[in-house]
Structure 1
Amino acid sequence: MISLPMIIGGKKIDKSEKIDVIYPYTLEKIGEVPKGSPEDVLQAIEKAKIGLDKLKELSSYEKYKILMNIADLLEKRKEDFAKTIVYEVGKTIREARTEVDRCINTVIFSAEEAKRIEGEYVYIDGSPNGKGKRGFYFREPAGIVSAITPFNFPLNLTAHKIAPSIAAGCPFILKPSERTPLSPTMLCEVFLEAGVPEEAVSIIPGYADVGQAMTTHPDVRVVSFTGSLQVGEIIAKQSGLKKIVMELGSNSAVVVDKDADLKKAAKKSVIGGFALAGQVCISVQRILVHEDVADEFHKLMEEEVSKLKFGDPMDEQTDVGPVIATDEVNRIQTWINEAVEKGAKIAAGGEPAEDKKTLFKPTVVVDVPEETKLFLEEAFAPVVTVKRFKTIDEAVRLVNKSNYGLQVGVFTNNIKNAWKFIEKAEVGGVIINDIPTFRADNMPYGGVKGSGLGREGPKFAIEDYTEIKIVVFDINE
């Protein structure tokens, strides 16, 4: 069993009250961490004030070197981190190794950006009252960052918040998901080992009371949250005058035009729909197929789904592991049943595995009515829906018929149709001839509408973690 401490201002703290970590595949306890409290947050904030001053003393090059040290240490412990992710999340070992690799890249990108947090010369004399004035601006740390992360990518999504934070010169207080606190704690230990000032690093596992203390305190200047829309709305209402960055999920669509490469679209859609058992913010959930090629596409989809192996996530051959908890299995079944009752048809899967724990069969549901949870909400499950469309305008309408707007994938060889989605899709990213699940860790990643505020990616996170300071000289005689 893995037992890890919380960290407050670089100091390891243990407590008698614990949060148990459960392996989703067997439902066995595999770890524990101390249960944090609002009082712990207050201590972390006081330490972070000292950490802010210490980070300000570091040069850009020194922060770069520290972050590169973190990447080197992660490289040496890749398999240890990967196995921990499997046990706390339930993702397959191959998926876990990929996450560790991505985390290393995220840290390296952050290191590189630490050396180019730049300002700009401002032509003050372009203003009627600016004659004889010269100006420039630069960026300086915004202050203490409160970071709250979800269960599905506990390592890389944590890195996306705390590595740019250090690059920007901001101390952080991290609350990981109570389901998956192990790999984030291990990552914070690596940050300390690599040379990040102790007071700049805190991780406090806990529940809503910890999150509320982190997001409402006036000394916190930035809140970076990844999670549900419902919680995001609460944070936005209660945080006060702060910078808020949020990634709040999606209901991502794939559009398959009549001239698309159907084999590629089907294969990619299955990868995007069932990776991490569909528990990815940009999972393929809705597939919209032109009616002229829908029958052929259905057959190709069913063939690809039939190849998937689901089961033990530690098995190197497993493609689809468990969902995070048994209550999710019950919810998924309820959503599928609702769609079927309203006219949808199950083309594959549609039920849990025989042991009825946390394994749900990879599922394809066709002809799903628009007014169902499967079509409108975020399923976060190994379930994809397939629906026909007649015209590109109809496909655009269907893509936008959601409160979410993170990314869309469009398979087409028609540049006019592609451009129509680029201009009219209400999303943060349009991925042409690939799935919406595509993400490079240095790109601006985020959404519109209910999918959030701001953008992740080290360069863009640093913009949110810094403030502009303008300097103006009067050189008039």
Structure 2
Amino acid sequence: MPATQSQILPTNENEVSAQAKIKVLDPQDGSLVSMVANNSVSEVEYIIKTAVIGAQKAKELSTNMRMLVLNEVADNLQNKKELFAQMIAREGIKTINEARKEVSRSIDTIRISAEEARRLTGETIAFDQAQGSENRFGYYRRIPLGVIAAITPFNDPLNLVAHKIGPAIAAGNSVILMPHHETPTVAKMLVELFNNTALPHGVLNLVTGYGAAIGDIIVSDPRVNMISFTGGRKVGERILGLAGLKKISMELGSNCPVIIMNDANLEMAMEACVSGAFSAAGQNCLHVQRIFIQDAQFEQFAKEFCNRAKSILMGDKLSEHTQMGPMINENAARKVESMVQDAIEKNATLLSGGNREGNFFQPTVLSNVSNDCLIAKEEVFGPVTVLYRFSDKAEAITQANNVDFGLQAGVFTNNLALAFEIADAIECGGVMINDSSDYRIDAMPFGGVKGSGVGREGVMSAIKEMTDIKTYCFNLRK
């Protein structure tokens, strides 16, 4: 059986003392969920060395073996679906039903990674197109980068891990995985599934700890060939300053807009926007934060949207009836509270919600929010949505683009030409027509422009990011 993470540490560091552990607490009630290692600097250094050796092993793995490993993990994850869902709900912010959906998506992500491994191909090149090169023939192929540092957030603690591990292994790389310190347990469980396959020792390596203490060591190490990071913009900018000359892929959040035209199917828009606004308590980079509604639809939409927001059932995450859980911690809830208060102090209208109780924050709807409010221009990362009325589509497009983010957007209209026009004009990485900004499948390219990040995820796109193109040319002159 391949070595587990604890077995790859130096002998004198195998035993982790109580002082060197992280308590993982349920954000709902503060109860203890698990304890994981708080890796030391020396342990991280050792893991980096292990990953460098693992990169050579990964590079030598056949496509067949990569596919076998990934499919075996997907099968085992399917068999343990409820166990993983329970852990996502316990240590994180998702209800049990949201957690089950995340496990299903993670299984798909890993299976897609296995399929994309077989499609990791190159192309022949017509070198004889150049005068004097008539006797030359060649091709290019994609080769693995080496060591991928994968740093993941708390809000999708399994699927975003799968989105980094799956493509990295499919492409023939080794991985140093560093999950968020508040939700590391389900990531550790997934790593254990990989460790119980034929994946060679050192290909997948887990680091648990606090980013401020050990993150800088990982991202700045020249032996790490790529950083794949999902998280906040400030941390992303710090990583860019430390990384040096290596590949970077970052998804840094957004302030997603949705535009609803007068001819839109209002019920379709309502259903999608309510879900996109309040699922995972708004702690989602694709969260529907700003909705622009054309005049004729505004009053009806605003009334019904608020009614549905008020009806959302908050409470115990493990209850089958609960629709929305807590914020990840009280500081996060207080930040949302302060952003709402800032808007109200600047004459915004509170249409619904606005109250905090511990880590729980009510589904909240605002209108009449001016552009100088924090919530109009920053990512709220909480269950708050702002409604705007507009008359002319150019006005809505200008407002939608008037932020330093651009991940995804939604447009609701039954006019095909208008849909194309607005979609082309919005500055973002993806536009969902007759869906909210929150729609995504795991096979599609995913990423943003402006302050929303660099590079693209989505399995096929991530594999391309995690490989280099190497060109071969043969002079066949006799």
TM-score range, shorter chain: over 0.9
Q: Please give the residue correspondences for 1:26-425 in structure 2 after superposition, counting only pairs within 5 Å.
A: 26-207=29-210, 208-352=212-356, 356-425=357-426
For structure 2, which runs of at least 5 residues remain unmatched after alignment? none
* Matching residue's letter, 1:196: L
Please give the TM-score of this superposition, normalised by the length of structure 2: 0.96
Aligned to 1:451: 452
Q: Cα distance 1:228–1:14, how it changes in 2: closer, same or farther (>3 A)?
A: farther
Aligned to 1:460: 461
* Matching residue's letter, 1:387: Y
Deviation of 1:30 (Å): 1.8
Q: Cα distance 1:226–1:453, how it changes in 2: closer, same or farther (>3 A)?
A: same
Q: Secondary structure at the match of 2:427?
A: coil
CA offsets, 1:163-189, max 9 Å, x none?
111111101001110111100001100
Alignment check: 8 A CA contact 2:60 2:172 kept: no
CA offsets, 1:241-285, max 9 Å, x none?
101000000111111111111121112111000000000000111
Q: Aligned partners of 1:148 and 1:55: how far apart in 2?
A: 20
CA offsets, 1:179-212, max 9 Å, x none?
1110000110001112211211211111223111
Q: Aligned partners of 2:417 and 2:343: how far apart in 1?
A: 33
Alignment check: 8 A CA contact 1:82 1:93 kept: yes
Deviation of 1:39 (Å): 2.0
Structure 1 residue runs of 4 or more that deviate by more than 4 Å after TM superposition: 5-14
* Matching residue's letter, 1:158: V
Please give the TM-score of this superposition, normalised by the length of structure 1: 0.96
Work out the number of aligned pairs and report it: 470
Q: Aligned partners of 2:133 and 2:424: how far apart in 1?
A: 39
Q: Aligned partners of 2:355 and 2:139: how far apart in 1?
A: 61
* Matching residue's letter, 2:324: V
Q: Aligned partners of 1:421 and 1:442: how far apart in 2?
A: 24
Alignment check: 8 A CA contact 2:411 2:423 kept: no
Alignment check: 8 A CA contact 2:9 2:43 kept: no
Deviation of 1:413 (Å): 1.3
For structure 1, which runs of at least 5 residues remain unmatched after alignment? none
Q: Aligned partners of 1:381 and 1:13: how far apart in 2?
A: 40
Alignment check: 8 A CA contact 2:9 2:46 kept: no
Alignment check: 8 A CA contact 1:255 1:409 kept: yes
Q: Secondary structure at the match of 1:336?
A: helix
Alignment check: 8 A CA contact 1:10 1:199 kept: no
Alignment check: 8 A CA contact 2:219 2:243 kept: yes
Q: Aligned partners of 1:317 and 1:126: how far apart in 2?
A: 66
Alignment check: 8 A CA contact 1:10 1:198 kept: no
Q: Secondary structure at the match of 1:268?
A: helix
Deviation of 1:476 (Å): 2.0
Q: Aligned partners of 1:37 and 1:240: how far apart in 2?
A: 23
Deviation of 1:467 (Å): 1.1
Q: Aligned partners of 2:467 and 2:383: how far apart in 1?
A: 38
Q: Aligned partners of 1:245 and 1:49: how far apart in 2?
A: 20
Q: Bigger CA drift: 46-55 or 240-249? A: 46-55
Alignment check: 8 A CA contact 2:371 2:377 kept: yes
* Matching residue's letter, 1:178: H
* Matching residue's letter, 1:335: M
* Matching residue's letter, 1:94: N
Alignment check: 8 A CA contact 1:323 1:360 kept: yes
Q: Cα distance 1:290–1:13, how it changes in 2: closer, same or farther (>3 A)?
A: farther
Deviation of 1:6 (Å): 5.5
Q: Secondary structure at the match of 2:34?
A: strand
Q: Aligned partners of 2:421 and 2:121: how far apart in 1?
A: 35
Deviation of 1:96 (Å): 0.4
Alignment check: 8 A CA contact 1:93 1:316 kept: yes
Q: Secondary structure at the match of 2:155?
A: coil
* Matching residue's letter, 1:122: I
